[in-house]
Amino acid sequence: MKMSAVDVARLRTAILNLLFPPRCVGCKKRGAWFCAACLAVVPRIVPPLCCCCGEPLERPGARPGDLCYNCRREPLQIDGIRSVALFEGPLRQAVHHLKYTGQRDLASSLGSLLAEYWRGNRLPANALVPVPLHASRQRERGYNQASLLAQELAAATGLPVIEGCLVRARQTASQMTLKRLERKVNVREAFACVDDRLAGRQVLLLDDVCTTGATLEACAIACRQAGARSVWALTLAREK
Ligand SMILES: [Zn+2]
Ligand SMILES: [Zn+2]
């Protein structure tokens, strides 16, 4: 029997969990990295949303198809962005552990949130493309968290993951401390496609967190230049 990368990761997790019982990032209970009770209360984003960037619209009377203030002023160059949940509480802790403390086992719990989203909301896609890290950052971390999430969604949907085509050509300053416009300038031309595997594809970019959409927009521009037919993005979390 041939095992997929996700199967191998699950087996590895099962063995490690026996040796070192995990504790939930939310409630600290033993038994799982992100327990079912904490997963259930992650604040899912629900309509009405901006039809482009996916930001929840709080104004009264907002309807599907409406644009938010930022998208009306300056439309994003991506077909659409959607996010599963708000970046707060245990989800924020979980993403932090996935990225910075090497807890790659969290990817399967977090992937279950993406799969749940997909069951209720299909986006136009026939290829999953994780937002790449710069090669030096990936070496340092040992993995790309966006790629782990893409593999989980691929296992749930059967969509192929295409990696190594979209690359981060330039190391960028951390987006955390930058303002909206600075973020756009910071990531502009940071991404490029190095082969033609995305030509004619309906690309779905995958990432852990969306803040202003500037990174996803820069990726979308590179995918379009490589001939992608459409580019949407799905992120696990969204900064408020
Ligand atoms: Zn918990
Ligand atoms: Zn918007």
Task: Return the amino acid letter for 120.
Answer: G
- Ligand in closest contact with the CA of 93: 1
CA of 121 to the centre of ligand 2 (A): 18
- Ligand in closest contact with the CA of 89: 1
CA of 97 to the centre of ligand 2 (A): 29
> With b meaning 16 or more CB within 10 Å and e meaning fewer, what string describes 147-181?
bbbbbbbbbbbebebbbebbbbbeebeebeebeee
Q: pLDDT of 107-144, one tens digit each?
A: 999 999 999 999 999 999 999 999 999 999 999 999 99
pLDDT value of position 187: 80
Contact call for residues 79 and 230 (beta carbons, < 8 A): yes
- Ligand in closest contact with the CA of 55: 2
pLDDT at 147 exceeding the cut of 70: yes
Contact call for residues 228 and 201 (beta carbons, < 8 A): yes
CA of 105 to the centre of ligand 1 (A): 15
Q: pLDDT of 171-189, one tens digit each?
A: 776 666 667 777 777 787 8
Mean pLDDT rounded to a whole number for the chain: 91
Q: Rounded to whole angstroms, how far apart are CA atoms 191 and 216?
A: 10
Contact call for residues 108 and 13 (beta carbons, < 8 A): yes
CA of 32 to the centre of ligand 1 (A): 8
CA of 112 to the centre of ligand 1 (A): 15
CA of 55 to the centre of ligand 2 (A): 6
- Ligand in closest contact with the CA of 78: 2
- Ligand in closest contact with the CA of 75: 2
CA of 109 to the centre of ligand 1 (A): 11
CA of 25 to the centre of ligand 1 (A): 6
Rounded average pLDDT over 26-31: 91
CA of 107 to the centre of ligand 1 (A): 15
